[in-house]
Amino acid sequence: MSGRFITIEGIDGAGKSSHIAALAHWLRQHEVEVVLTREPGGTPLAESLRELFLHREMDALTEALLVFAARRDHLQRVIEPALARGATVVCDRFTDASFAYQGAGRGFDLVQLAQLEQWVQQGRHPDLTLWFDLPPLVAAQRRAAARDADRLEREDIAFFERVRAGYAARRDATPQRFARIDADQPREMVWQQIEAALAARRWW
């Protein structure tokens, strides 16, 4: 029996990481095997590509090719085997991030991104995407207080406004897959939205 594939999306600083452990705990309370992973990353090869992606200067096409190469290895070695044995995969970012960051943020051709999506994923899409939506200015303030910025996090507010709009466009295209989480709330209220989105699916 195939497992469930849940992705967590949002601009940098939206608070995704602080809720992933709580999500895994909630699922395990429901006797679910959970595989936590991330993109770019999740395998030794993909983690190496992640380091290049985050710290080397490159154009939008190179970014897209690196991310989708990492995604292909990740799918083959981690995601598909876990789903095949019935586990639930919880992934910090997936293809929606490519359309939001490289597509909307960088202005890369969405048709070409869709072609890469088709080649690499061969029909595999998340069952549920939790989109942590937050105003970019608030996210920037959170990032500045939490850590040193990587290459993408150093982009200006206008870039992250475009990324946020890219996520909104993906949500509008497949609303049945998305649950928008208002991330500009106290932590406990954010978690209540997550729990409600999970409970509404009646999967467990």
pLDDT of residue 141: 82
Please report the sign of the dihedral spanned by the C-alpha atoms of residue 182, residue 186, residue 192, residue 195: positive
pLDDT of the residue at 148: 62
pTM exceeds cut of 0.95 = no
Q: Is 161 exposed, middle or buried (0-12, 13-18, 19+ CB in 10 A)?
A: middle
Q: What is the model's pLDDT at position 149?
A: 58
Q: Which residue has the tokens 């983690």?
A: 47
Residues 6+ apart with CB under 8 A from 138: 13, 184
Architecture of domain 5-201 in this structure: 3-Layer(aba) Sandwich (3.40)
Per-residue pLDDT of the chain (204 residues; tens, 9 = 90+): 679 999 999 998 778 888 998 999 999 998 999 999 999 999 999 999 999 999 899 999 999 999 999 999 999 999 999 999 999 999 999 999 999 999 999 999 999 999 999 999 999 999 999 999 999 989 778 767 655 656 766 778 899 999 999 999 999 999 999 999 999 999 999 999 999 999 999 898
